[in-house]
Structure 1
Amino acid sequence: MLQTLLTNPWFWLIAGMILMGLEILIPGVFLLWIGLGALISAMFVALLPDLAFAWHLMGFSITMLGACGLGFWLQRRGRAAQGDAPVMNREMDALLNREYIAATDFVAGRGRVRVGDTTYAAQGPDEVKAGDRVLAFARDGMQLRVRPLPTEDGAAAG
């Protein structure tokens, strides 16, 4: 029964479409290429229906591995072509080298700074208190790294 099923081009066509459809539900780009291998196998089985069952399985294995290899090559090539192109969602970099007001006291090196009408997580020395002026000089993931700025009398805040 399995042999009859796997030597039917409709099986491979339907399996390929299901796998490619699953890619939408389970993103990862891997099922897309396995599905493409199944679609190519459907053509292989339709064009050469008299081949032995083992050859149909071998054909699927080769087309699946070839399609996966093609997919990985295309992804790597796409990343290399991107090079130094601007990356999306770099708004944290726009917050660097600016002065802000500490929204909370810093405890254990962590606190929050006010940026416009919101606050952002920040890392800095424990001497930073709510209301102190700080300079965002770097970022660590989604947190700003800050240092206190001198007050009007010349002393460091804190």
Structure 2
Amino acid sequence: MNVFLEQTPYFWVIGGILLLALEFLIPGTFVMFLGIGAIITGITSRLFPMEITTQIILWMGTSLSSILLGGQIVKKLFRSESSVDPFVKDDFLGQIVPVEVDILVGQLGGKVKFQGTVWDAVSEKERIPKGTMVRILSRDNLTFTVETVSLD
């Protein structure tokens, strides 16, 4: 058993390197942090001989620390571009679309077809019958506010 304990630091380092390599196959950086914890555990257990149970606890602690600390570093290095609104802004304004279901004044129930999808629609001024062409004025969540257009 003593021979095994003398070799465990090398197993930790080799395992850590394998986990780092595995990161290329499993994206997400999680496996990389486990590998970093294993390498730190291998180096530490080589410098300060310890029982396997202590090594496992050390690996869990260093992996958790590297996940927490490394996660913050990765977030700062690779900033994601996000916006509050997941839709492309204002690509719908002014578009002329057909009415699929009669649109009521200030009430949900009406529908328009925009980019191959049927959307809820309301009117602020008048009831608009099916088949009429309307202009999109604004969007509130998944509901368009529309007005009739004359195609003269």
Q: Judge same fold: TM > 0.5, yes or no.
A: yes
- Decide whether the 8 Å contact of 1:33 with 1:68 is kept in 2: yes
CA gap 1:38/1:130 in 2 versus in 1, 3 angstroms: farther
- Decide whether the 8 Å contact of 1:112 with 1:121 is kept in 2: yes
Matches of 1:62 and 1:78 in 2, distance apart?
23
Gaps of 5+ in 1: 114-118, 154-158
CA gap 1:147/1:139 in 2 versus in 1, 3 angstroms: closer
1:29 paired with 2:49, answer no
Correspondence 1:33-112 to 2 at 5 A:
33-48=33-48, 50-74=49-73, 78=76, 87=82, 92-102=88-98, 105-106=100-101, 111-112=112-113
Gaps of 5+ in 2: 103-108, 123-127
- Decide whether the 8 Å contact of 1:106 with 1:125 is kept in 2: no
Aligned residue for 1:95, secondary structure, equals coil
**So what's the TM-score if we normalise by structure 2?**
0.62
Alpha-carbon offset, residue 37 of structure 1: 0.6
CA gap 1:31/1:134 in 2 versus in 1, 3 angstroms: same
Matches of 1:100 and 1:60 in 2, distance apart?
61
Larger Rg: 2
1:151 paired with 2:149, answer yes
Matches of 1:128 and 1:44 in 2, distance apart?
76
Matches of 1:109 and 1:25 in 2, distance apart?
48
Matches of 2:132 and 2:10 in 1, distance apart?
70
Q: After superposition, give the CA deviation of every residue in 1:12-50 in whole Å (9 maximum; x if it has no partner).
A: 1232233334434333332221121112112112323x3
Aligned residue for 1:124, secondary structure, equals strand
Higher fraction of helix: 1
The aligned residue for residue 121 of structure 2 is: 125
Alpha-carbon offset, residue 139 of structure 1: 6.4
**So what's the TM-score if we normalise by structure 1?**
0.60
- Decide whether the 8 Å contact of 1:128 with 1:148 is kept in 2: no
Aligned residue for 1:92, secondary structure, equals coil
